[in-house]
Amino acid sequence: MSKRTFSIGGVHPHDNKISRECAIEPLPLSPTVYLSMSQHIGAPAKPVVAVGDKVKVGQVVAEPGGFVSAFIHSSVSGTVKSIGPRKDLAGNPQTCIEIAVEGDEWLEGIDTSDTLVTGIPADNKAIIDKIRLGGVVGLGGATFPTHVKLSPPPGSKCERVIINGCECEPYLTSDYRTLLEKGEQVVVGAAILRQVMGGVPCTIAIEENKPEAVAHIQDVIRKLGYEGIEVMVMKMMYPQGGEKQLIDAVMHRQVGSGALPISVGAVVQNVATALAVYDAVQKNKPIVDNSVTVTGECFPRQANLLVRVGTPLSYIIDYLGGVPADAVKVISGGPMMGRAVANLDAATVKGTGALLFLTEKQTRRQPASACIRCGKCADACPMGLEPFLLNRLVKVNDLEQLEANAAQDCIECGCCLYSCPAHIPLLDNIRMGKGAVLGAIRARAAKK
Ligand code: SF4
Ligand code: SF4
């Protein structure tokens, strides 16, 4: 079987998937959950419950705050204790609904059984509405509301649905475990997505380091007998799972600067999102939980946990034995694109996919030296950018040239930083420059 990859840049970090044998296990309920109103891209959701209200699992507690926004559902049954600001992972205050957990009573109409439902409803509009009502957002990192992505703007046409099962970031294994343990549901989710997009072909892309998942999903597709769904084995290359890189690898098409995947006929959804689509459409189950990899060489117990949304990180960590003495950094996500956790009392959100513990040795940065103009950062950049140049432009604060050199296209993959022999903090600097350019672009658009 031929193995595909994207056409420019990329690096080969060790995959360190030390939690790959850990089956997904449900985490016992924490005494309290905190549901953030800002757990998706777009406008924050608006609470529709009041302090003192009793809620059940799956009940709507907040409604979308705009067109690009999403419903939020209670992940537990209990009593609303407070609604107000609480610090997120980065330490920034976000409006949260605090719920004291009193049990695990689910809202009527949600099918919590393990029975696989393979018959797909015929009405695509009704399907998209179920996805919207289920609060489904992209769970591969972007948390873009899925129902919006499934409603392409007039004039654009989807030609292929791609299910992203690459999980190319080192250490992460929750998508891999989902493919192995919920492969049937993921394939039904994929069938739903291709039907909604007009019956187009669907590719489930999986990296070559997951042969068991490849074999299992091929087997499931055969057994379920769905037409138009294939598995494509991808080369191990970071960032294979980047949206634009995946489209390049699967369809040999390049998404232009500032353009959306649909501009080249692609709709990309992550494996966990395909599962969430299955749950919402076939079981009436909104997103109330997600799989979280907890890992790191220094962590006492590797795990993949099924965690109710809004569970405090400290509760998850204590359940697994507490923060190891030699851990100096906790990252939400993987080592390449994840974000440092500044507040362990923060609660999980729908998009929380991993907690990674690193030691002082693993996080130690070499002192930066002068650029030796080796060009390795440019060779590694999967977006075809010149990181050394962007770095220089950030230093002199040349916004105009930063935009002209497409700093706004940086996907913050960290390949440049990973490749730089001079240990220049390219990613931190370029991220800053990108933020300034995007701010300027938004300000210009607002004036029009
Ligand atoms: S972080 Fe940005 S500039 Fe650096 S390699 Fe990735 S896309 Fe290129
Ligand atoms: S990799 Fe580092 S040293 Fe080499 S050109 Fe890029 S910034 Fe300069």
The domains of the chain are located at: 124-282, 376-447
Q: What ligand is nearest to the CA atom of residue 336?
A: 1
The residue whose CA is least distant from atom 7 of ligand 1 is 410
CA–CA dist 132, 68 (Å, integer): 11
CA–CA dist 440, 252 (Å, integer): 32
The residue whose CA is least distant from atom 1 of ligand 2 is 420
In the chain, the amino acid numbered 226 is Y
Give CA separation, 347 vs 52, 313, 343, in Å: 21, 6, 9
Q: State if residue 394 touches ligand 1 by the CB under 6 angstroms criterion.
A: no
Structure tokens at 113: 């059984």
234 close to 166: Cβ distance less than 8 angstroms: yes
Cα-to-centroid distance, 209 and ligand 2 (Å): 30
CA–CA dist 361, 357 (Å, integer): 12
Q: pLDDT band at residue 1, thresholds of 50, 70 and 90?
A: low
CATH 3.40.50.300 applies to domain 124-282: no
Taking alpha carbons only, the member of 133, 229, 137 closest to residue 190 is 229
Q: pLDDT band at residue 327, thresholds of 50, 70 and 90?
A: very high
Q: What ligand is nearest to the CA atom of residue 10?
A: 1
CA–CA dist 434, 213 (Å, integer): 36
Atom of ligand 1 nearest to the CA of 383: 7
Cα-to-centroid distance, 195 and ligand 1 (Å): 35
pLDDT, tens digit, 9 for 90 and up, residues 236-248? 999 999 999 999 9
The residue whose CA is least distant from atom 2 of ligand 2 is 420
Cα-to-centroid distance, 416 and ligand 2 (Å): 8
CA–CA dist 261, 107 (Å, integer): 36
CA–CA dist 82, 97 (Å, integer): 6
* Element of type H or E holding 207: strand 202-207
CA–CA dist 135, 124 (Å, integer): 17
pLDDT, tens digit, 9 for 90 and up, residues 48-104? 999 999 999 999 999 999 989 999 999 999 999 999 999 999 999 999 999 999 989
**Strand 354-359 to strand 289-295: parallel, antiparallel, or no bridges (unpaired)?**
parallel
Cα-to-centroid distance, 417 and ligand 2 (Å): 9
Give CA separation, 285 vs 17, 113, 133, in Å: 30, 11, 10
The residue whose CA is least distant from atom 3 of ligand 2 is 371
Cα-to-centroid distance, 387 and ligand 2 (Å): 8
Q: Mapping DSSP to helix (H, G, I), strand (E, B) and coil, where does residue 339 land? A: strand
- Which of 377, 390, 430, when mutated, tests ligand 2's pocket best, judged by the most ligand atoms within 8 Å of its CB? 377
Cα-to-centroid distance, 336 and ligand 2 (Å): 18
Contacts of 114 (CB under 8 A, 6+ apart): none
Atom of ligand 1 nearest to the CA of 412: 1
Q: State if residue 420 touches ligand 1 by the CB under 6 angstroms criterion.
A: no
End-to-end CA distance of the chain: 51
Q: State if residue 373 touches ligand 2 by the CB under 6 angstroms criterion.
A: yes
Sign, CA dihedral 169-174-179-185, equals negative
> What is the pLDDT averaged over residues 296-313?
96
**Strand 229-234 to strand 202-207: parallel, antiparallel, or no bridges (unpaired)?**
parallel
Q: pLDDT band at residue 258, thresholds of 50, 70 and 90?
A: confident
User: Residue 2 pLDDT more than 70?
Assistant: no
Global pTM? 0.95
CA–CA dist 421, 407 (Å, integer): 22
Q: State if residue 37 touches ligand 1 by the CB under 6 angstroms criterion.
A: no
Contacts of 159 (CB under 8 A, 6+ apart): 200, 201, 251, 265, 266
The residue whose CA is least distant from atom 5 of ligand 1 is 381
Atom of ligand 2 nearest to the CA of 378: 6
Q: What ligand is nearest to the CA atom of residue 242?
A: 1
The total of other beta-carbon atoms located within 10 Å of residue 39's CB is: 26
pLDDT at 140: 80
pLDDT at 174: 97
The residue whose CA is least distant from atom 6 of ligand 2 is 377
Q: What ligand is nearest to the CA atom of residue 416?
A: 1
> What is the pLDDT averaged over residues 396-416?
96
pLDDT, tens digit, 9 for 90 and up, residues 182-205? 999 999 999 999 999 999 999 999
- Which of 377, 379, 411, 428, when mutated, tests ligand 1's pocket best, judged by the most ligand atoms within 8 Å of its CB? 411
The residue whose CA is least distant from atom 4 of ligand 1 is 416
pLDDT, tens digit, 9 for 90 and up, residues 346-390? 999 999 999 999 999 999 888 999 999 999 999 999 999 999 999
Q: State if residue 11 touches ligand 1 by the CB under 6 angstroms criterion.
A: no
Q: State if residue 424 touches ligand 1 by the CB under 6 angstroms criterion.
A: no
Atom of ligand 1 nearest to the CA of 409: 7
Give CA separation, 242 vs 56, 135, 191, 216, in Å: 36, 23, 22, 23
- Across the chain, what does the average pLDDT equal? 95
